[in-house]
Amino acid sequence: MTGAKGKSGPLARRPDNSAFKQQRLPAWSPMLTANTVLPFFYLTALLCLLLGVWLLLTVQSTQELKLDYTEAGTCDVCFETRKNMSNAAAACRCTVAFSVEKPLEGDVFFYYGLRNFHQNLRRYMDSRDDAQMVGRTNNLQNPSSYCDPFSRDQNGLPIAPCGAVANSMFNDSFTLNYHGSGGYSSARVPLLRKGISWYTDKNIKFRNSRDENRTLAQTFEGTVPPPYWHKPVFELDPFDETNNGFVNDDLIIWMREAAFPNFKKLYGVLNRAGQPFSAGLPAGNYTVDIDYNFPVQYFRGRKEVVLTTLTWFGGQNHFLPIAYLVTSSLTLLIAVGLTVVWLKFGKNGKNMEE
């Protein structure tokens, strides 16, 4: 009795006699009947169908032109030259001709593409020093061990930028030429090569040293470029000093690894400031002059140039529209199957709802 009056013992641990603590609150439990489930299936199938058709029409409104230049045109000579790594330092320039049958209207994006290049390998992705990339002097002279064996050269000098990702940076360069149509003579197609990387990458994840009393060359003094590079990191862009070092757009774009072995990365955007490119890329004959440096024989890869327009949905990617259409078809098949079963067995007194 004493324990009960003082609320000690087992009674002290018993919840209060309230609707909330005794779980007596009113609740609603849906009854899954044929009249409620079947309309839901049909509605879901209809919505997925509409979304799939809409996205498919949006994707097909983009214009895209792909040009595999691995051994095309005069690049077959460079392809053979790059089979021997001892010739890697030798310059090799080639030209590939192509035509644009239908004008590419609006903003046109110039991509380079690689096939069978696996940037998603874990060891490869870890082989970098992000602290070095934000301009920390200590990491510049003492690269992370994650970069091994591309942290120091054979003389013990630190590599900047270090790691396998930076060492394998794509280093082909392109010059696109338009050869006239509709009264226009031949002209070089102007491409915007700066400001094409993500804002957060350019201004946060990649920075040079903040020491304003030193030039960029002095900042990287005592370091060497990666083994496969032809020039140091502070000379990546010979025309723009502000696009050198770790804030170089080409380097930043390459360092964002691709998820799949076949990918493309942005090289430039059409400058529509003057004629005949103000409305986009006109129809006609074109050539692309290529400084052929990147070897692909060692991983059985291919190289390509991609010219494309974009919509709010992006480029020509059919995965999501097809996924919606497949989902719509499967949902519709399930709905029809359930309807047949319900009509056959659910109305004869043996209702499946019971």
Q: Which has the closest alpha carbon to 246: 266, 223, 263, 268?
A: 223
CA dihedral for 123, 125, 131, 133, sign (positive or negative): positive
- Tens of pLDDT, residue by residue over 163-194, are 999 999 999 999 999 987 655 567 899 999 99
Q: Which has the closest alpha carbon to 256: 143, 166, 193?
A: 166
Decide: pTM greater than 0.85: no
More confident residue, 350 or 292: 292
Grade residue 88 by pLDDT with cuts at 50, 70 and 90.
low
Q: Quick one: what percent of the chain has pLDDT higher than 90? A: 60
CA distance 161 to 307: 30
* Strand pairing category for 104-105 and 173-178: unpaired
Three-class SS of 93-124: EEEEEEEECCCEECCCEEEEEEECCCCCCHHH
